[in-house]
Amino acid sequence: MMLSASVTRGTAPCDAANASAHDAIDSDGRKPSGPSWVFAHATCRGFSCFPEGEARTGLKLVARWIDPLAAALRDASAFRGYALRDATHDDEALLYALHRDGLRQYVDATWGWEEEWQRAHFAGQYQANANAVIVRKSSSPQDVGRLSLTRHWRKIFLRDIELMASERNRGIGGAIIGSVLTLAANSGRHVELLVLKCNPAQRLYERMGFRPVSDDGARLRMRAL
């Protein structure tokens, strides 16, 4: 099971009733087309899952989210022995490998996986300040996971928690989600994510208080207040 809200490749707009054109591009990673894509691509190349127009009126990416999240994780027993560090541009290949390993089976089952397009899309959307690397602490620390989120004035969008296979099913994802929920509650925000309906991670999200707010047939948009 891979805990990931980010979904790649599809055919229909994401959450058509509510999502912006930029949301459809960046939060599900599909190859879009048409006027909405042209507008979004021309105005919003960033890794944020919300439109540039909203950013100008109060929603914006806050890059320094890692320190408060790391502080919230200090009391999580499942996260003992792990740490977060800032991602850099040099981490892109590692983080793409984690992304592919974690999501490929679910994307392939839903839409089919096109490696060349997936790699190019990830590279085109990658921004280090929207990512953190999960590190297993030891005498020789090892990078074992990826966390990606965007924090806005009114919400936190939890994009991805992706771990090496050896680190899964240890409660790490649940610990991170719990800490994100704490940060959101303490700042008056809610948390949203997208998950493919075939991804069993949605059961964990439900246990942690997330509920579906929309369904496009392939994915659920879930929200925890």
Query: Which CATH number does the domain housing residue 131 bear?
Result: 3.40.630.30
Q: Is residue 13 part of a domain?
A: no
Q: Is residue 200 part of a domain?
A: yes
Q: Using CA atoms, how far apart are residues 162 and 168, in angstroms rounded to an integer? A: 9
Q: Is residue 107 part of a domain?
A: yes
Beta bridge partner(s), residue 220: 195, 215
Q: Is residue 127 part of a domain?
A: yes
Q: Is residue 14 part of a domain?
A: no
Q: Using CA atoms, how far apart are residues 139 and 210, in angstroms rounded to an integer? A: 37
Q: Is the pLDDT of residue 2 over 80?
A: no
Q: How many domains does the chain have?
A: 1
Q: What is the pLDDT of residues 20-69, one digit of tens each?
A: 333 333 344 444 444 333 333 332 333 333 333 333 322 333 347 889 99
Q: Is residue 1 part of a domain?
A: no
The confidence score (pLDDT) of residue 151 equals 85
The confidence score (pLDDT) of residue 65 equals 85
pTM over 0.85: no
Contact 88, 128 (CB under 8 A): yes
Instruction: For 171, list phi and psi in degrees, rounded to 5.
Output: 90, 5
Range of the domain at 127: 21-224
Q: What is the pLDDT of residues 108-142, one digit of tens each?
A: 999 999 999 999 999 998 999 999 999 999 999 99
